[in-house]
Amino acid sequence: MIVWTSKVLKYAFKVGLIDSNPFDRVIVPKKPAKRKKDNFYTKDELETFLNGARDVGMMKYTLFRLLAFSGMRIGELIALEWSDVDFASQSVSINKTLTLDKYGQATVGSPKTTNSNRAVLLDDVTMTILRQWRAEHARRIIYFGKPRNNLVFASEHGGHLSNGTIKGWNKKIAENKGLRAISLHGFRHTHASLCFEAGLTMQDVKERLGHSSISTTVDIYTHVTNDRKEESVQQLAKFMRA
């Protein structure tokens, strides 16, 4: 009814039947923006999740540990090969990614942007876990005769893992540990938020994530710091009630 009336008055003003259209002075209130559900884990939540991943197997534990502690995209992780892992320099070289072509077929190509082609330094614990997984990986090849390829994480048939498979693992682990499930990209966001919390600079985080623009990193930083402000208020209230 309101829309119809507005059109009638607009036409009446256009043909000169009225001096002005009162609807032009109406200010329509904006709908309040919906707060997006936080798509990252806190330090304690990540530790709980990884404990759950450890319970269901070395491969899943290593995969999610590397995802959270490297900040790489899921396609970059799926395409990762052992030749990209440098145990001497404690780093992984990210130089390719797995994407789907227009026919829905998985294909390995160059990273998302020029900046996405990067080397990411890793901590001692993550590198130790990778060594342990490489040893188990080698034993599996001897025992099962596959996968005969260089992939760090391969499917049971020896090919690339699918996003759907990893999503299923992610959801199940979160449910088992009583956690809200975050997306696979949420582990990249988790890495960024923990880097900021640990005191890394904006430029450091930009380089680790392979962002093409610092503005993308700033957006994540703003989100994280806003959440920290809310936590600070709650901590103050809790302190005053003690």
Residue with tokens 């002075």: 25
Per-residue DSSP letters for 34-56? PPPPP-S--HHHHHHHHHHHHHT
Q: Give the angle subtended at the CA of 193 by the CAs of 76 and 180, to the nearest 5°.
A: 85
Gyration radius from the chain CA atoms: 25
The token duo for 75 is 């396609």
For each of the domains in the chain, give its residue range(s) and CATH number, in order of start: 57-241 (1.10.443.10)
pLDDT at position 64, please? Answer: 98
pLDDT tens by residue, the chain, 242 residues: 555 566 665 666 666 667 666 656 655 555 544 445 678 898 999 999 999 999 999 999 999 999 999 999 999 999 999 999 999 999 999 999 988 766 667 778 777 767 788 999 999 999 999 999 999 988 877 776 665 678 999 888 888 899 999 999 999 999 999 999 999 999 998 998 888 888 888 888 888 888 877 776 776 666 665 555 555 545 556 655 65
* Confidence (pTM): 0.74
3-state secondary structure 194-220: HHHHCCCCHHHHHHHHCCCCHHHHHHH
pLDDT at position 165, please? Answer: 95
pLDDT at position 98, please? Answer: 85
Q: What is the DSSP letter of 154?
A: B
